[in-house]
Structure 1
């Protein structure tokens, strides 16, 4: 499936199905080879939800293919997807996951990786800083 048809299909899905897909995708991103996040750390990125809530979301998304959450959570999920996209667009081939975990030489990050920065500064505004930093690095 090409990128255009994927976008068209996603735009035709109900929001609860998209949310479920994003939650399951985020669970995959936790692996050591990708973002290297524990469930506890993912809960921090998702606004401080509990492990039981995270596990319930994953189970519901897996079994029913749909999930309903509040607007603030939807915004956070969208921001995490956007950060992923900006990192992948700005990273050299083969280093897309490494760029999330490597130190960043920029005053905003103070030598921390995006991963470390986001875990310590997990507000929406701080996530915007991460996204915008990587967006500014994208070569179009």
Structure 2
């Protein structure tokens, strides 16, 4: 019977650099402003942020972010990617802000916001992938 060989443990090297605390705080502040431009309600904001508590969202709006968990960092990163893609696609920023809530044939006649409000990170990523493909990214 063959013997099993011990394989030495190696340190995990992520393929994508980890988002620092300073970067996540900056993204959180930017998302507060972005959600205002998207005309989101507090309830919609907390859904897009993965079920963030209303109390924490209220703190974010005053500039007090605190610790941001890894999955929330991923949401923030994807939301910033959506914002960046819209700014590239639309020369008029207001059109980009409005696009998010307009019905779209690509999403079966519903809006990108409705897709994202399903609440999963993958829903946000779906919108980001679509926009990245449109902008050629």
Q: Same fold (TM over 0.5)?
A: yes
C-alpha distance in 2, partners of 1:116/1:77? 18
Aligned pair count reads 118
Q: Is the 8 A contact 2:25 2:68 kept in 1?
A: no
Ranges in structure 2 where 5+ consecutive residues have no aligned partner: 1-18
TM-score, scaled relative to structure 2: 0.75
- CA drift at 1:92: 4.5
Equivalent position of 2:113 in the other structure: 115
TM-score, scaled relative to structure 1: 0.73
Ranges in structure 1 where 5+ consecutive residues have no aligned partner: 1-13
The CA RMSD over aligned residues, in Å, is 2.1
Larger fraction in helix? 1
Is structure 2 residue 53 aligned with structure 1 residue 53? no
Task: Go from structure 1 to structure 2 and tell me whether the alpha carbon gap of 1:58 and 1:92 turns closer, same or farther (over 3 Å shift).
Answer: closer
Note the alpha carbon deviations across 1:56-100, whole angstroms, 9 max, x for none. 3444xx25xx63211111111111111111222223434221221
- What pairs with 1:60-75 in structure 2 (closer than 5 Å)? 62=63, 67-75=66-74
Task: Go from structure 1 to structure 2 and tell me whether the alpha carbon gap of 1:53 and 1:133 turns closer, same or farther (over 3 Å shift).
Answer: same
Q: Is the 8 A contact 1:90 1:135 kept in 2?
A: no
- CA drift at 1:50: 1.2
Q: Which runs of 4+ in 1 moved over 4 A?
A: none
- CA drift at 1:139: 4.9
Equivalent position of 2:103 in the other structure: 103
